[in-house]
């Protein structure tokens, strides 16, 4: 059953992580796991300093500067009961220069949602506008 945009957004808000997909100019879809926060029609994804990485300048940022479109997919999987399966998708537009108030609000929400982000150990927050939502559920 297709989810209404409101139901898809509700399921997106309730998920604790998802897969962020951007477009690499040569190889196409570039997907990575991501945590996120949603406030209104804005979605923030941290570039954190918690997990080891070569740089805080990530490929997804370069991808987004070339093409600001992205998608975040969240899902519920139950291997023993397929009647409980669902997924929700947010179509996103990257905001290259978000205002400080939105970054602060999303940073605070990330800190509230994820204990690992107490003290905000992230280099920055990538800010997106949610331009659409869709989804599907096996339950009616």
Burial class (CB in 10 A: 0-12, 13-18, 19+), 133: buried
| Mean pLDDT value across the chain | 92
Going by pLDDT thresholds of 50, 70 and 90, the confidence category of residue 122 is confident
pTM: 0.91
Say yes or no: domain 5-137 is CATH 2.30.110.10. Answer: yes
pLDDT of residue 104: 97
Mean pLDDT in residue range 99-110: 97
DSSP string, 97-129: S--HHHHHHHHHHHHHH-GGGTT--EEEEEEEE
Mean pLDDT in residue range 6-35: 95
pLDDT of residue 50: 56
């Amino acid at each position: 059953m297709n989810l209404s945009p409101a139901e898809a957004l509700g399921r997106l808000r309730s998920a604790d992580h998802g897969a962020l997909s951007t477009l690499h100019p040569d190889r196409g879809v570039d997907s990575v796991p991501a945590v996120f926060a949603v406030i209104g029609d804005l979605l923030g994804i941290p570039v954190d300093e918690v997990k080891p990485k070569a740089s805080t300048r990530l490929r997804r940022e370069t991808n987004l500067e070339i093409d600001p479109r992205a998608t975040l997919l969240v899902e519920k999987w139950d291997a023993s009961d397929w009647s409980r399966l669902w997924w929700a998708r947010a179509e996103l537009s990257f905001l290259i220069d978000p205002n400080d108030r939105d970054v602060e609000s999303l940073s605070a929400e990330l800190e509230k949602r994820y204990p690992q982000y107490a003290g905000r150990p992230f280099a920055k927050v990538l800010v997106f506008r949610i331009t659409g939502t869709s989804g599907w559920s096996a339950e009616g």
